[in-house]
Amino acid sequence: MALAKKLLHTRYRVNDLEQTVEFYKNVLGLEEVRRHKSPRGSELAFLKAPESEETVEIVRTGMRLCIEKGPPAPTGTGRLAQVPGIDLIGKTGSAQVTSLEVHEQYATEADIPYKFRDHAWFVAGVLDQEPKSSICILIEHGHHGSSAAAPLAKKIVEFFYEKKDTSSVQLASQGIAN
């Protein structure tokens, strides 16, 4: 639990790959598996977590704290995805589109041109319903997973698990008009 809380306090942008890899290796005990240089010049590091029930529980706890608002801050970034009566775990995030220097040129997030806004994402899992499910939502240029993607996940989970009358639901394969 202490490690999950420590992870929730870690908010950073990856500008220094070596420093980030060292953090994951030393603090989380991950093992670096390989490196890859993308065609656009970005270097990627692939890391592997130890395979144990303890590791899985640390991840579950951290993802549960993302959905539940409570101490220590910054828990609850995914609280807008909460669905009463459903055990939902999740993780909010953003994918940086451009450098921080570009963002710093603007007074507010609303001033940032659309093409430079970070992508918003949210991943979630439902653990106590059948069937169990997982969701990944990416909203291009949505700024934050907490405000853009998590509420959409809530709507999907509510629809999937709470919709009782499906007579008005039409699958795409059925076509729009009869």
Q: What digits encode the pLDDT tens for the residues 87-103? A: 999 999 888 888 888 88
Q: Which domain holds residue 18?
A: 2-163
More confident call, 97 vs 137 = 137
Is 94 a domain residue? yes
Is 66 a domain residue? yes
The contacts found for 112-115 with CB under 8 angstroms, 24 or more apart, are 114/141, 115/141
Q: Domains in the chain: how many in total? A: 1
* Confidence bin at 116 (pLDDT 50/70/90): very high
Is 60 a domain residue? yes
* Confidence bin at 14 (pLDDT 50/70/90): low
Is 178 a domain residue? no
Determine the pLDDT at residue 103: 87
Is 126 a domain residue? yes
Across residues 33-58, what is the average pLDDT?
81
* Confidence bin at 74 (pLDDT 50/70/90): low
* Confidence bin at 172 (pLDDT 50/70/90): very low
More confident call, 72 vs 59 = 59
Q: What is the mean pLDDT of the chain?
A: 80
Is 129 a domain residue? yes
The contacts found for 4-11 with CB under 8 angstroms, 24 or more apart, are 4/58, 4/59, 4/61, 4/62, 4/65, 5/65, 5/72, 7/58, 7/62, 8/62, 8/65, 8/66, 8/72, 8/74, 8/75, 9/72, 9/74, 11/74
Is 124 a domain residue? yes
Is 100 a domain residue? yes
Distance CA 164, CA 171 (A): 16
